[in-house]
A and B are shown apart, each in its own frame.
Chain A
Amino acid sequence: MAENNDVQKEQISQAYLALVWWKFKKNKMAVVGGVIVILFYLICGVLAEFVSPYPLSFQSDYLEARPQPLVFKNQEGKFSLIPSVYGLEETVDVELRKRIYVVDKTQIFPLALLPKAAEPYKLLGFIPMNRHLFGVNLKAAPDGYAFLFGTDRLGRDIFSRIIYGGRLSLLIGLLGQIGTFVLGSAMGTISGYYGGVVDILIQRLTEFVGAFPDIPLFMALAAAIPIGWSPIMVYFMLTLIMVFIRWGGLARQVRGLILSLREREYVLAAQSAGASDARLMFRHLLPGTLSHIIVIATLMIPGMILSETALSFLGLGLRPPLTSWGVLLQEVTSVRAIRFAPWLLIPLPFIVLAILAFNMLGDGLRDAMDPYGGR
């Protein structure tokens, strides 16, 4: 009985965040989106070296090989629950005058869960490991290979590259968003709190940056990155450019929220207790806007990921030694590639899935942030 009472009490005095969580959970689309987003970050961001069967530096002798179909057979050709892949055979396409690969059904390479890696590697660069999530069973087929999504023109495994590419693409969205978040909320808070000349200056600045349309400005700034820079520098520069272009929108929204919060009594109370400006702004005012900012920020991440993809695709963003989704798509800029190696387009559905998942998550969060409203 006492326990029952406790449960009831808990339901009545739900805190705001608990209500938000409760409303969010009811929205199936948003939950699915959130799970997919977390999976993407887990697989690509954290476990890329483990999940991808081949390391990033790996190059096979099979150039532009088509994806090897998955079959549930063992090496004797009998049904087996452990999937295998068919091998590839090199032939010459007379019409195209080009080496191509066809599926060779006489060779069967069984796959294995957690096989020993060809060489030990370090997860995230510091955790030594010697097993991949899956791969060809090298004991059963010593010279076997498995390119589930085929290979590119340098013989690299596309499946692995999609996972590694996701790491940079998803990270640039996150890093860029964190930067935008910090700069935008700081500028917005300062602008809203001080008002007057500071406010006018910051507002004019955001208007000025906003007068440039996103993508053309982004292209122009990205094109200004010197070609000689190291890939890491280019990566961070691109992130900075994104922050520079996007912070204005966030700052304006934060400013609006701060303007209304500033008039609340608790601010006056804190002020009379002798709180400094900085403390008032960043301890008392900014936290009140956080839930809003987080939603706006989540809704902006897919745009950032897409900007990177688009720019790299055009050759203005990240460049080859780096692997990102946009860099992967660079391979399909030619009509020839789409016609003769359409599997190079396989990264596409993954990009779209990540974007959609982010949108679903962001939409769900936005609805959930107002848990008292109907609908």
Chain B
Amino acid sequence: MLSYILRRLGYAAIMLVLVSFVSFLIIELPPGDYLTKKLQDLQARGDRSAELRIAEYRVRYGLDKPLMERYWIWASNFIKGDFGESFEFERPVTEILGNRIGFTVLMAVSVIIVQWGIAIPIGVYSATHQYSLGDQVVTTLSFVGLGMPGFLLALLVMFFAMVVLGQEVSGLFSNEFKDAPWTIAKVIDLLKHLWIPALVGSVTGTAGLVRIMRGNLLETLGQPFVEAARARGLTNQKVTWKHAVRVAINPLIVILGSETLPSVVAGNALVATVLNLPTVGPLYVSALQSQDMYLAGTVLVFIVFMTLMGNLLADLVLAALDPRIRLE
């Protein structure tokens, strides 16, 4: 077991080094960099000292050095927890991400709660009442939900809230609370705004979970041990929840690890951009657009890191829960 974990960790480490290098290359790829753009901006504004200032920046960020050396500086600092400096905000990446990571985690956790809270009971109902009217409604809805992309749904929700209900849904806070210190009133305001993005962000995932849960449970319900539990005179409810669901839910853990954990970093960037949430996702998009390379690169590396860790954790938890699975 321990050797398995170590091997997987070593594999993940190699992967991360490669990924970080490729991320660095991708982000470096566009011709011209942020500073060239900024120089043009400053010159257009008639700033005479522009060239000097930009040259100074270039040295400060080490942009005058060759590619490999720059990567090396960035990567070695990365391990020490210094992710470089954002050109656009002229502040350390750590600080910028730190400001947003709280809300990102909050969003991700609320999405998980909504997804699982809705999907598991519905999936169980759908499986235990196979081919009933309710099941057919659920199956159809989950099919539509799977095909309904989150960011388009977000646009629709914005439209309904603004045009039909006349309400603002953008962001996580009302204007008066945006920069206010944390108070009970601010928390309530946050909760009032939180549910829409949480709901929109979880639609696709919920639909997927319902379908998997239904399929798994149907399969489990047909197995002999369920029959045996019934024969011993247990109530239907007990058989379903204590025996069948416990087994059927295992594969969902893989999804929790491989899909949900990475979303803690970037979340659903598209939905967050549409709904103007203060999370990491929109930051990543704007960093890519403005070639703010250290910021974008850091986020990309973290997303991959979370994906790798999520997969590993999912495998370990699954092995712990399901004695039939042996890790080698």
Q: Give the residues from 189 to 248 in chain A that come closer than 8 angstroms, CB to CB, to chain B.
A: 207-208, 211-213, 215-217, 219-221, 223-226
Q: Is the CB of A211 within 8 A of B307?
A: yes
Minimal beta-carbon separation of B286 from chain A (angstroms): 9
Q: Is the CB of B26 within 8 A of A220?
A: yes
Minimal beta-carbon separation of B1 from chain A (angstroms): 23
Q: Is the CB of B147 within 8 A of A352?
A: yes
Q: Is the CB of B147 within 8 A of A356?
A: yes
Query: What separation, in Å, do the CA atoms of A65 and B299 have in the docked complex?
Result: 42
Q: Residue B195 at the A interface, CB < 8 A?
A: no
Query: What separation, in Å, do the CA atoms of A316 and B286 have in the docked complex?
Result: 10
Chain A residues, CB < 8 A from B19: 208, 211-212
Chain B residues, CB < 8 A from A316: 285, 288-289
Q: Residue B144 at the A interface, CB < 8 A?
A: yes
Q: Residue B308 at the A interface, CB < 8 A?
A: yes
Chain A residues, CB < 8 A from B144: 356
Chain A residues with a Cβ closer than 8 Å to the other chain, count: 39
Minimal beta-carbon separation of B222 from chain A (angstroms): 13
Q: Residue B31 at the A interface, CB < 8 A?
A: yes
Q: Is the CB of A345 within 8 A of B300?
A: no
Query: What separation, in Å, do the CA atoms of A313 and B150 have in the docked complex?
Result: 13
Minimal beta-carbon separation of B171 from chain A (angstroms): 10
Q: Pick the contact of B152 from A208, A338, A342, A348 — CB < 8 Å?
A: A348
Q: Is the CB of A219 within 8 A of B288?
A: yes
Q: Is the CB of A352 within 8 A of B158?
A: no
Query: What separation, in Å, do the CA atoms of A345 and B269 have in the docked complex?
Result: 20
CB-nearest residue of chain B relative to A209?
Answer: B22
CB-nearest residue of chain B relative to A208?
Answer: B18
Query: What separation, in Å, do the CA atoms of A194 and B302 have in the docked complex?
Result: 36
CB-nearest residue of chain B relative to A339?
Answer: B162
The answer to whether residues A216 and B269 also contact, given A345-B156, A359-B146 and a CB cut-off of 8 A, is yes
Q: Give the residues from 340 to 363 in chain A that come closer than 8 angstroms, CB to CB, to chain B.
A: 342, 345, 348, 351-352, 355-356, 359-360, 363
Q: Residue A310 at the B interface, CB < 8 A?
A: yes
CB-nearest residue of chain A relative to B163?
Answer: A342
The answer to whether residues A211 and B288 also contact, given A224-B26, A226-B30 and a CB cut-off of 8 A, is no
Query: What separation, in Å, do the CA atoms of A313 and B282 have in the docked complex?
Result: 13
Q: Residue B27 at the A interface, CB < 8 A?
A: yes
Minimal beta-carbon separation of B305 from chain A (angstroms): 10
What band does the interface of chain B fall in when counting residues whose beta carbon is under 8 Å from A?
35 or more
Q: Is the CB of A219 within 8 A of B285?
A: yes
Q: Residue A173 at the B interface, CB < 8 A?
A: no
Query: What separation, in Å, do the CA atoms of A359 and B142 have in the docked complex?
Result: 12
Minimal beta-carbon separation of A314 from chain B (angstroms): 6
Q: Residue A318 at the B interface, CB < 8 A?
A: no
Q: Pick the contact of A223 from B155, B163, B289 — CB < 8 Å?
A: B289
Q: Is the CB of B159 within 8 A of A342?
A: yes
Chain B residues, CB < 8 A from A221: 26, 29
Chain A residues, CB < 8 A from B23: 220
Q: Is the CB of A335 within 8 A of B300?
A: no
Q: Is the CB of B147 within 8 A of A345?
A: no
CB-nearest residue of chain A relative to B166?
Answer: A339
Q: Is the CB of B285 within 8 A of A302?
A: no
Chain A residues, CB < 8 A from B152: 309, 348, 351-352
Chain B residues, CB < 8 A from A310: 149, 151, 270
Chain B residues, CB < 8 A from A345: 155-156, 159
CB-nearest residue of chain B relative to A335?
Answer: B170
Q: Residue A280 at the B interface, CB < 8 A?
A: no
Query: What separation, in Å, do the CA atoms of A355 and B143 have in the docked complex?
Result: 11
Q: Is the CB of A220 within 8 A of B27?
A: yes
Q: Residue A306 at the B interface, CB < 8 A?
A: yes
Q: Residue B5 at the A interface, CB < 8 A?
A: no
Q: Is the CB of B304 within 8 A of A314?
A: no
Interface string of B1-44 (1 = CB under 8 A from A): 00000000000000100110001001101110000000000000
Q: Pick the contact of A338 from B30, B163, B284, B288 — CB < 8 Å?
A: B163
Q: Pick the contact of A348 from B29, B156, B288 — CB < 8 Å?
A: B156
Q: Give the residues from 296 to 322 in chain A that come closer than 8 angstroms, CB to CB, to chain B.
A: 302, 306, 309-310, 313-316
Minimal beta-carbon separation of B98 from chain A (angstroms): 20
Query: What separation, in Å, do the CA atoms of A316 and B29 have in the docked complex?
Result: 15
Minimal beta-carbon separation of B14 from chain A (angstroms): 10
Q: Is the CB of A223 within 8 A of B149?
A: no
Chain A residues, CB < 8 A from B257: none
Q: Is the CB of A338 within 8 A of B162?
A: yes
Chain B residues, CB < 8 A from A355: 147-149
Q: Is the CB of A211 within 8 A of B162?
A: no
Minimal beta-carbon separation of B188 from chain A (angstroms): 24
The answer to whether residues A212 and B304 also contact, given A314-B270, A316-B285 and a CB cut-off of 8 A, is yes
Q: Is the CB of A315 within 8 A of B289?
A: yes
Q: Is the CB of A226 within 8 A of B31?
A: yes
Q: Is the CB of B273 within 8 A of A213?
A: no
Q: Is the CB of A211 within 8 A of B308?
A: yes
Q: Pick the contact of B288 from A208, A220, A356 — CB < 8 Å?
A: A220
CB-nearest residue of chain B relative to A212?
Answer: B304
Minimal beta-carbon separation of A1 from chain B (angstroms): 42
Q: Pick the contact of B147 from A208, A225, A302, A338 — CB < 8 Å?
A: A302
Chain A residues, CB < 8 A from B266: 213, 216
Query: What separation, in Å, do the CA atoms of A351 and B270 have in the docked complex?
Result: 16
Q: Residue B303 at the A interface, CB < 8 A?
A: yes
The answer to whether residues A213 and B307 also contact, given A220-B296, A310-B270 and a CB cut-off of 8 A, is yes
Chain A residues, CB < 8 A from B269: 215-216, 219
Name the residue in A208, A211, A348, A359 with the highest tally of chain B Cβ atoms < 10 Å from its Cβ.
Answer: A211
Given contacts A216-B299, A309-B149, 16 further A-B contacts (CB under 8 A): A208-B19, A213-B303, A215-B269, A219-B285, A220-B27, A224-B27, A225-B30, A226-B31, A309-B152, A310-B151, A332-B155, A338-B158, A342-B163, A345-B156, A352-B148, A363-B143
- Residue numbers of B with Cβ under 8 A of A are 15, 18-19, 23, 26-27, 29-31, 143-144, 146-149, 151-152, 155-156, 158-159, 162-163, 170, 262, 266, 269-270, 273-274, 284-285, 288-289, 291, 296, 299-300, 303-304, 307-308
Jot down 6 A-B pairs with beta carbons below 8 A, ordered by A.
A216-B269, A310-B149, A313-B270, A335-B158, A338-B163, A356-B148
In order of increasing CB-CB distance, the 8 nearest A-B pairs are A224-B29, A223-B288, A356-B147, A359-B147, A220-B26, A224-B30, A355-B147, A306-B149
